[in-house]
Each structure stands twice: as structure tokens, then as C-alpha cells.
Structure 1
């Protein structure tokens, strides 16, 4: 519940056709139609979607407080923040007729966890609401950077809420991809090199992005956690230079080389960053509204945090900023001074932010987040590092061999690709694109060569010169074929087809 209003999570969905029969479709159309349906189901099965019949879940508590009574009387779908309504395209036909407004329920995608906590027999409600933006939504490597309208990939607004006896508090943070034109196309390599697209007008679109953020939130504190050397360092320098050239007084840039500062498990070094941001956090503040309607404080600005993915490092820093506000709010409510004094509450706090990290990561990258052992326990461990390794390998597989389909699913669901009348008959369906001949040939050769090499290693009772020559030949075949596949890696990746 938020402000006494119920919030619901969608647990299952069904797709019901208007036309039950498919006899009028050709075999190829049926095949492609099934693929499109599977895309829709893939998005619907991605955790988690949320809605409310009475509470405008797309807006922060502060934005709702600043609206007029007339605005609050509008239907939910008309007054919702369109940046975060994931079924806005699906509602278009229904929303064209006022008598159908009751069926137009805005749905957000992200993560919501709300609970009642007890400290010294005092009960209060708290939790977080993360809203994923629909603009430039997509998968980890196929959706990077910014578009010409100033929308960035993996943009998420996260709001931490605290309610006590009618008093309400809210603290909002945002995350989003580095707002420049850049790409990191999967190519079978473990970590494809991020590339800045040189010929684009980075300054104009970056300025457009900041203008929109300032309009929605006020002052922007840009916390950039990417490496300051190597391929990520190129992006960091470009981002820093663009911000400097824009020279907006409402934008402040703060770079922190997360991996360099915290190497060898020195995660205490994050306190250096927190100290740097302390004055900004004091100036930005948070939203605090008393039960009698008195506004004690308002949030004027946000921390806009990013790393290369805006997932793992980003969530760690966001949770630390949120914890500082959480302590201050609970102190204002006279509930406690520090949550560190109540281990069970601190565990709850860490658990919620860890869950947020995992869900947002699953939605974007296909796996849970990395570095969650620190968010969960406050310490970095070798077991946590091992789990990160497993998640990284899983990400590698999904980003290379299944994310093209997931990207297409997102484009179709959000209406960025609309199925054309006469696909497969009058015009070619984009799903029918053909692979290069190398796609099947070289993996087959690699499989045969690997099998022969293994057979020559384990089968002979003794190793003669002839056997050793065979082993050398098949080993060379394996190496050469593998190198060729890596060289043409982009042809073996599951690429999006619709756009």
C-alpha cells in the first residue's frame, strides 16, 4: 500500500485473439504469427509489472502533491507519466472512447517492494518503487547511450518511501546510460569494446537530455562510476568534456572510478564518494509531508547515477545514498537514530535494495545483478565474487545468443515496430532474414575438428608419430576455425530483426 491505496503485481497474463481461426493465413504467416505472439508473451513474462486502481503509480509522491485538484480528477491513463506506462501503445484503441476508460489501466514495469516494519513496538511503512522508462527500452548490449530525442537506455526512476502515522517521505534517484551516442555491439567476445560514435552531435542531444531531467527533477548531480582508463575511460572523458562544454549551473559532474578505488575488496573506499556527495545530498534534500498537509521539505534535484550498464555499481551507490536519507527520515519521525542500531531493520533495508538490483538487472541483462553480496551484507566476499562470475557467464550467453529476440519483443510490445498489413504476401516479413553461409559451415567444422582431436587424445593405446601428426592437424583446425568464428563474431550473434 502507498498512502492507504492498494498496489498490485501482475502474476499471470493471457493473450486472447479476436479472430479465433487462422485458416485464412498461409503456413509461413502462421509461423511468423506464432513468433510475434511469443515475443508478446516474452515481455509479459518478464518480472515485474504493477498497477493500482486508485493510486497513480507512474508519478512520485512529490509530483502528485504538486498537482491541481482538477488533475487528480482525470482518468488514471490520461494523467499518468507517459515515460513509465508500458501498455500505452496497447491502450491506444481503448483510450479513443470515453466509455472504455475504465478498461484503460496504466501499468509500470520495474520493481515495487512495500512493507510494514516494527521498531520498539512502533510500526511504519517503507519500501521502494522503481519505474523503467519505455523510451529506448531494450536489452543490455543492443540498447546503449542516447537517441536524438534525448532518451537514454536503461533509464529507471527509483523512489524510496517512508510513511508513519500519516506523515510521508519520499526520496527519488535516477539511473540511465551515459547520455552520448555510443554502442557496444555483441560479437562473441566476452566484453565487446564500447565505441563512441564520432560523427554525431553529442552536445545537442546531451543538453536536451539534461533539460528534460531538470524540468522533471531540478538540479542534476551526475555520478559516473565507469573506469577512467581503457575503453570505458574514453566514454568517461567524452562525458566529462560534454558536461563541461554545456556548462549548465544545474548540472554537476562527479566521477568515481569504482573498480580502481575498490579493488582488492576495499569497499570501504565508497565512503570517499559518499563524503564528496554529502553537501549535494544536503542541498537536494527529500520530500517530507506531515499528516496535516504541512510541507516540511521538498526534494530539489536528483542524483543521476550510471556505470557502463547502470546496474551493479549503480545500485550499490544508490542504496548508500538512500540509506543516508532513510536514517534522517526515521530520526525526524522519532523512530530511531540509525538503522545500524537495529540489525534486523538494516537486513530488511539491504534485502530490498538487493532485490531491486536483481530484478532491474534481469529485465535489462537477463541475469541477476553483480556485487549484490555487498548490498546484502555490507561486505564483499569471495563467494559473492564467484556468484558474480556465474552471472557474468550467463549474461555472456544471453547477450550473444538470445537478446536479439528479446530486443525485438520489446520493440513489438511498445509499438516501435508495427506489423504491416500483408506481411509474407505483399511484403517480406523481417523475421525471414537469412544468415550468411558461414553461420552453419564454421561451427560444423569446429564441432567435427574438436571431436576428432578429442578422439585422437583419448583413443590410441600408444602415441605414434602418425597419431601426433593427426593431433597437430586437428588442433590446428580447431584453433583456426575458432579464430575465424571470433573474427566474424557479429554474424553468429542473435541480432534484432524488426528494426
Structure 2
């Protein structure tokens, strides 16, 4: 079952006085408010006060009135105007300081970009940066404006995402792991579990490394938090009883005596509350610590997240998120692509290459492909799958000299690492997060007339060979070398077909995450379609163990195409597991594959702009050999744009990223960032030679992580990652995603819902004249582009660019290639095509896939407790009378005479028909309103009074009726 997560606040209003900033945060229904106070009188200190008290609407109104009147009482001071509303926002991105005072960054605009079950993912559209100290205490610094502009060069409105209920820094498999904590436990057991968890996490030697956050160091400028104890050591999970979160409503904890006294006054309520307690309506809402590697506002939050309430904190990820709807005869199947860019060793193309001493590689991006049945809202009842893959720079100490303006600067190995210390640290974190096996798909060139990229390939093999010496054969790192650029130059070689073989090999080794919503029979996994799968399987689905890591020199063009091939293979198995298709084989030039191809190209363009300064140069259609002639001129322009960006603007972008992520912190009396000759020592803080602190080189993988293989250690040790626990009723909006997804507290326009604006296979990809609505039907006619609205350009041969004359499919066979194009497995030998036959039997041509719809889907009766049935005789008789009435009203006498068909001679209704409403006879001079009953007048009066003075208390009869409704609904 899905673990309940805690929803945080969604609406913020900032009020300011000369002494303080008051940030008022409310929940979704604006029934509960909280206040965060920030002092404005200290120019170099950040003084925050969070009293952690919730207010009702009336209480917060009185509090703001009191603050306003208290500031206005200083009538002798000129310019004192009391409490002023400054800005409305949807969340706090953090705080930052350069050479003057602190700034607060607020999210002022957002846009929905994806839905994962009931969880909404937003993209930041606009932000506001407010200076906290007031004008009376502010002092100026000559370099402050330059740092502010440099900080704002990292545009938060460009591909930054957040969610209130879904943790974007973790994978779907990690978020849905249900082994965290029982869904309902009594209060003594809940406290004992938390105590045991704290003691076990403190005694574990391996958890101490996980508890180290990257923002543990304090700057020289003091940061003071008023009204809160200073946090020392490892932060323990915060358990908040309901008397601390609500002043009027109590669910459990210290107010059980009050609940008993209230129940004794009404025996019916006492009986119902006892039943609810026995059935376990109290659940444990959980908020986990994020993966700080993918949090881009870690430096902005600083120590703020350790002191104030977690409802104020939003973790922001950077990268790409796209979603589309694969409509299978009206059934929505959502395909989501999430790319998380690492904030460690981040930067631009030529300035950030290889690896640093902490084991962080440049341009490391985790791509997750999620496919789920969107017709069912809640994830614990729906079928959902995901597949995760990774890309990153070659984990070696290497760089390229950009001082000379040449298109391809020479590759230089900066430092030798004979014991693969940094590479081992990188692979250790990868195995701890994803499990084993780790499959490396290296797309770097191997055969060159002049050695350029092949330098990296040879050194990378040595690293893999050394690390594999200390791993068992079952969990060894698997190395696949594929010279993709060399193969693509040949006209009679098929790159996508070879990538399809590699993808099938990788997906069967790692598997994918699948949650069926109900128990899966053994016959499902014994199917020949899953022959050779080595993932972790159980009766409720399967888990992904291990990951495929793809890299080339830039990790842009070739890597994106290879990841598309992996995603295409995984999508076939995901749709087959969901019951959508009868075979995991998918064909090119179908609506489904075109949607997937566009998603991966959008991802590639976005990531290439962030890292390389231009969009993709070599696209998927280019490797399929079906790109039109106009694409070549576009590739030339993208190459020039990338070359210009790398030469003239990458340095400024790198400095802005270093300031935004806190890699460089401005301080008075020290050199500015633009005065530094290099940022090498900012990203490599360890001394190069320090043998006393190095661990044993043969034990580069920790024993706790090794013991959990093939499962990932981070998932097994998930209970030690709890940050905030809250025991509350399961229907409360803090743990119930219903409130976030359906918005029952506001009027909703159906046409403005996200489901109507999401990219749809029928509206945006299916040809207008198509008669087959299946997204898996082969389309050979040109279709319109979703963004440009133009038909695809024809190629040189005059054929349509989407024709299957030269397109490749996963089901087609390919001519055998020479031994020079062989795959390099295991990292020590380059095996030929004949030795690659260990899994070629799974790649034989198959039949054209068929599709089934009725046998795999869950019935309406199992989900919504209702189903479609035949109409009763009484309903059919009523419908026949309705049809007869329509025929009698529309019948013409001439047709009745000329026609030989027997007609209805006269219509004799069995019931009396009379108008319900009666209106007065009006004239052009006077209009008399219709009479209004006293009951209607009372309803309208109560409506007006409710708008003026707020809602009134319901009567006892209404409360009893509402309690009976809840008893029937949740029992």
C-alpha cells in the first residue's frame, strides 16, 4: 500500500513593516493559517521566528489587525503606515546573501506540467527576489549589484520544478516502497517505533554517511533563529502531536480524555468513534529527507530547513519533465518523462568535464520513464510502472583546452588515478541508489585516425577492470562499448537496430518497476515474453535492480538517442505489463512511438541548452536515416550556436551556477569570483595527496550496501531517511491527496483542467482522416507537427519523411556486421558478434503484435463498487414513452396520409403534464417579479450573512446527519 505523504501549504501572502516581514501561509481550503516572522533590523543576520502555531481565519484576522494597529500607533514617526501587503506567492525557494543583507526568493507563478496519480507537479513560471533589511539599516556595497545580476542569470522560470506531495528527488519505486512504517499503530507502539528507529539509525555505521548533508558547514556570517533550539548532530524525525498542529480540533495524542468526555455525552458518537479506532483510521503521514544531489536550492535553504516547520520548505529540481496521454480507445495511459539534473559538479560543456575528487561527475542526469493508468486516481489501486536510466560524463580526470578557438579542443587527462578512487566513489553511490547490476554503455569512439576520444575509452576500461576485481561475478559492472558514430557513417548499417539489441539486453538484466494493484499470478511471470528477466519479482509486481548508465563525450546527442532506444524497449514491456498490448514489441511510425520520440527529443533539446548552449545537433531521425534535407542546414546552425555559446558565454554561465549553488560564497576582503583564475579548487576541496584519510582501495563498496545487493541500499534503509512523521486521521487534507487533485474547495472550469491540455495521441498525433484510433497502428502518411502545425518535409527521394521504406523497427532483422562493430562486454575483452549470441535468441523476428483490451483491465465493480447493467423493464417503458412523445410532437399530417407505415394516430399521455413555474403577465410598461417563497428568502439571507461574517455553526441535527454519512462512507 502506498505510504501517506504530508501535504504542505500552498498559498503565501507576505506583509511587511519596518521591523519585520510577516509571511502568512494557509492550507488549500484557507481554514488554517501559520505565520513566519523575519526580522528586518539586522543587516547581516537572518533572524527567523516560527512559533509553529496554527490559527483559524478569525484568529489570523485579529492577529493581523493587532499588528497593523500596533505599527500605526507610532503616529509621531513620519512614514509609518502600518502593515502593508507586499506579494502573494506559492512557496519559498530560500534565502541568499552576497555582500549586503539577505534576500528571500518567492515563487509567484506556477504551471501544471504533469500528474502522477493524484500528485501534481508544477513548473516555476516566475519568482520574486525581496531584500529583507529595511532602508534605514541598509548599507551599500559596490559589487552587490553585480552579484545580484549574476545570481539572476540562473533563471528559475526555466525548467525548474517542484511538487507539494510528490518527492521529485526520489524515483517512483523509492516513493512507493511500503515497508517504511505500518499504516496504523497505537500511540505507545508509534512512540516505541520512533525510539527504536532513532537508536538503530544512530548505531549503524553506514547511516552516518547518509546523514551528512552538503550544507553542514556554516558561513562566517552568523545566522540566528529566534524561538527555536539549535540543531546539533543528526536531525531526528519530528513527531508532532495534534495539540501542536491544531488549537481546536484534536485527533489523538494528549487529548484523548477530551475525546472520551465528548463521546460519553452521545452514546452513538461514542460507539462510532470506538469502531473507528479499532479499524485504524489513524495513519502516519511521512515526509522523507530528499536526495540533496538533485535539490538545486540546498544552498538557498541553508540551515533554515532544520529549524522551522517543514511545511514552509519546497525542494526544487532542475532538468526536464514532460507528459503525454496515450489514449487507448478512450482509456488514458499517461507517459511521463522526468530528467533530474545533478547539482554536484554542475556547469557548462567545456568547463565541467569528467569527475571531481568527491566522485561527482559532470552533466549527470537521471531519467525516469513512468507509465500508468490514469483512469484510476490513487496509485495504491492503479497499475503503474517506471524505468530509470542514467547519463553522465566519463568518470576520469580529464578536460579540454578552450583557450584555442577550435571546434574540437584536444582531450587532456589531467591526473592519473591508478586505484580508481574517484571512480569507485561515483559507482558506489550509483549502486547504493539503484542496486546491481550496473551496466555501462560507452558510446565514445574507439577507432580514429588521430587519437581523440579513444583516449577516454582505453582509460575507462582500465577503471572498470580494476573495480570489478573486488566484486562477485553476479554483481560485477558490465561494460558495453559501442562505436555509434562509426556505425552511423555506413549507409547499409542500422544504428537503431543494434541499439535495440543492447536495450533488450539491458532491460532484461535490470528489469523495471511494476505495481499491479492486486496480486499477480505466477503464470504472468512465467510467460515467454518475460523469458530472461532477472529483476526482483514478487506477487504484487516487480522492482528494478540495477541501472544502465550511458555516456559519450558530451552526453548530449548520441546519449539521447541511446536512451531513446532503452526507453522504447522499456515502454514495450511496461505497456505489456499494464495489459495494454499483447506483445512487448513496438513498431516505429506509430502514434505511440512518435510521442515517445518527441518526448526524448524535447528532453535532449532542453538538456543540451542547459549544458551545451544549443539544441540537439544529431537527432533520432538522423540516426534512422529518414531526416529531411532541411534538417542538415538546421544541424549546421545548431553547431554554430553551440560553438558560439561555448566560446563567449559559458564562463558567465559557470560563474552564475557557482554562485547560485553556493560553490562560491562572496565575502568581504577576499577575491571576487570574476577575479579567480579557475574554479578547480572550488569543486575539488580535498588535498590531492592525503593517504592517511583514504580507505582501503579494495573495499570501495561498503559492506552494508554489498549485503543488500541486488536491491538498492537506499531503498532498504528507507526508515532511517524519515524527516517528519505526523499521526493523523486518514481523511485529513494533510495526508489525503483528494484535496490537492480534485480541489473541492473552489469552482473548477472543466475545460481549464490539465487533463484537457495535456498532449493527446488523438488530438496531436493521429492523422485527421485516420479511421483506426489505436495508437499502435502503423502510420505511413505525413502528419502535422504538434508545435509548428506544418507537414513533415519530404526527403531527397521524394518519399514521405515518415515512410517505413528506410525506417527501422525493433522487430526487423539486420545484416550481420563485421567484427569491428562488435560489442565490448565485461570490460576486459572485445567479443565478436558470434559471442554475442548469448542473448540473440530473444531478438529473433516476431509476429506483428496484436492488442487486447477487455481481458486485462480491472472491472468497474472492483474499483468503484458499481458496474454497467441492462436497464429494467420499467426504465425501458419510460424511455419508449419518451420516444413516442417525440414522434408525436414532430409528426406531420401529410406524411401520415401518404405513408403506408402505421402511424401513431393520437398521443394520449398517461400522466398530466403541467408547467412547474408560473410567471405573471407582463407588459412593455411593467414587469412584475415572480413570487418568492419564505424558505428561498431565508436561504438567500443566510448566504449573504455567510459571505459577510463567515460560516455559522451547524445545528445538532446536521452534525448527526454528517456523522452518519461519514460512518457509512469510511466503514
TM-score bin, normalised by smaller chain: 0.7 to 0.9
**Cα shift at 1:79:** 1.5
1:168 is the counterpart of 2:387: no
Name the CA shift for 1:341/1:118 in 2 (closer, same or farther; >3 Å). Answer: farther
Name the CA shift for 1:85/1:198 in 2 (closer, same or farther; >3 Å). Answer: closer
Match of 1:183 in 2: 399
Name the CA shift for 1:42/1:74 in 2 (closer, same or farther; >3 Å). Answer: farther
Match of 1:278 in 2: 504
Give me the whole-angstrom Cα distance separating, in 1, the residues matched to 2:335 and 2:127.
28
Give me the whole-angstrom Cα distance separating, in 2, the residues matched to 1:266 and 1:121.
41
Give me the whole-angstrom Cα distance separating, in 2, the residues matched to 1:333 and 1:131.
25
1:81 is the counterpart of 2:291: yes
- Number of residues paired by the alignment? 424
Match of 2:351 in 1: 142
Q: TM-score, normalised by structure 1?
A: 0.79
**Cα shift at 1:361:** 0.8
Give me the whole-angstrom Cα distance separating, in 2, the residues matched to 1:341 and 1:357.
19
Name the CA shift for 1:202/1:380 in 2 (closer, same or farther; >3 Å). Answer: farther
3-state SS in 2 of match to 1:179: coil
3-state SS in 2 of match to 1:162: strand
**Cα shift at 1:47:** 2.6
Give me the whole-angstrom Cα distance separating, in 1, the residues matched to 2:589 and 2:627.
21
- Of residues 438, 441, 447, the one that matches 1:223 is 441
3-state SS in 2 of match to 1:53: coil
Match of 1:8 in 2: 122
3-state SS in 2 of match to 1:370: coil
3-state SS in 1 of match to 2:656: helix
Give me the whole-angstrom Cα distance separating, in 1, the residues matched to 2:580 and 2:649.
48
User: Which residues in structure 2 correspond to 1:64-213 (within 5 Å)?
Assistant: 64-66=175-177, 68-69=180-181, 73-75=285-287, 79-99=289-309, 101-164=310-373, 165=376, 166-187=382-403, 188-201=405-418, 203-213=420-430
**Cα shift at 1:385:** 3.1
1:61 is the counterpart of 2:184: no
**Cα shift at 1:333:** 2.1
**Cα shift at 1:202:** 6.1
**Cα shift at 1:117:** 2.0
**Post-superposition CA distance 1:369-405 (Å, at most 9, x none):** 2222528987344433332221111111111111111
**Post-superposition CA distance 1:271-329 (Å, at most 9, x none):** 22432453332121100001237531111111100010111100101011111111122
- Of residues 287, 292, 311, the one that matches 2:513 is 287
Match of 1:234 in 2: 455
Deviates more, 1:240-249 or 1:4-13: 240-249
Higher helix share: 1
3-state SS in 1 of match to 2:362: coil
- Of residues 540, 564, 576, the one that matches 1:331 is 576
Name the CA shift for 1:405/1:209 in 2 (closer, same or farther; >3 Å). Answer: same
CA contact (8 A) 1:373 1:379 kept: no
CA contact (8 A) 2:322 2:338 kept: yes
Name the CA shift for 1:21/1:233 in 2 (closer, same or farther; >3 Å). Answer: farther
Deviates more, 1:271-280 or 1:302-311: 271-280
Name the CA shift for 1:21/1:432 in 2 (closer, same or farther; >3 Å). Answer: farther
**Post-superposition CA distance 1:396-441 (Å, at most 9, x none):** 1111111111111111111111111x2xxx344343579xxxxxxx
- Of residues 246, 249, 265, the one that matches 2:467 is 246
Give me the whole-angstrom Cα distance separating, in 2, the residues matched to 1:117 and 1:376.
25
| Consecutive unaligned residues in structure 1, runs of 5 or more | 435-499
- Of residues 609, 616, 619, the one that matches 1:372 is 619
**Cα shift at 1:265:** 5.4
Give me the whole-angstrom Cα distance separating, in 2, the residues matched to 1:201 and 1:21.
57
**Post-superposition CA distance 1:64-91 (Å, at most 9, x none):** 123613898444xx51111101111101
CA contact (8 A) 1:59 1:81 kept: yes
CA contact (8 A) 1:350 1:375 kept: no
Name the CA shift for 1:7/1:24 in 2 (closer, same or farther; >3 Å). Answer: closer
Higher Cα radius of gyration:
2
Name the CA shift for 1:266/1:183 in 2 (closer, same or farther; >3 Å). Answer: farther
- Of residues 549, 553, 560, the one that matches 1:315 is 560
